[in-house]
């Protein structure tokens, strides 16, 4: 059982660990407090011998966290295709798996660079007609 994407603190996740309620923790980097808090969550999880696979909304961030932890602590990176397509729409080089492998960006910071040309071109972007979101947009 994997859980934790809707738990927002290391203390809430610790309750899941104390209860033996999961085999894998999946905190969401955005919702759990960012990279620093995710690293603290991973440290607590390691005392329970539980792997942490961050929820897949923020792959550019999650791949950095994964690279900073030993493999047993964070063995995989979850990649949500639709969300990452949307979240990385304005990136020069989206962080995507190639043959099942996600390379860690090596640019400064999180390795993300925005594409100013795409931003200018798509300034008035209408997501209601985007193929990924059309099914979920109410008209």
Query: Any idea which residues carry the catalytic annotation?
Result: 55
Residue 74's SS3 state is coil
DSSP assignment of 71-137, as one string? Answer: TTTS------HHHHHHHTTTBSS----BTTB-PPP-SSTTS--B-HHHHHHTTT--GGGSTTTGGG-
Helix/strand/coil for 52: strand
Residues 6+ apart with CB under 8 A from 65: 29, 35, 38, 39, 42, 54, 74
């Amino acid at each position: 059982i994997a859980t934790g994407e809707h738990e927002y603190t290391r203390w809430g996740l610790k309750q899941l660990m104390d209860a033996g309620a999961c085999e894998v923790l999946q905190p969401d980097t955005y919702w759990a407090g960012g990279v620093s808090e995710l690293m603290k969550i991973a440290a607590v999880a390691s005392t329970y011998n539980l792997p942490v696979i961050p929820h897949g909304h923020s792959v550019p961030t999650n791949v950095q966290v994964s690279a900073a932890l030993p493999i047993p602590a964070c063995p995989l990176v979850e990649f949500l295709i639709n969300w990452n397509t949307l979240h990385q729409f304005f990136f020069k080089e989206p962080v995507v798996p190639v043959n099942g492998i996600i390379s860690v960006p090596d640019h400064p910071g999180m390795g993300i660079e925005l594409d100013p040309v795409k931003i200018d071109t798509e300034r008035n972007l209408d997501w209601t007609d985007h193929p990924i979101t059309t099914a979920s947009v109410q008209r």
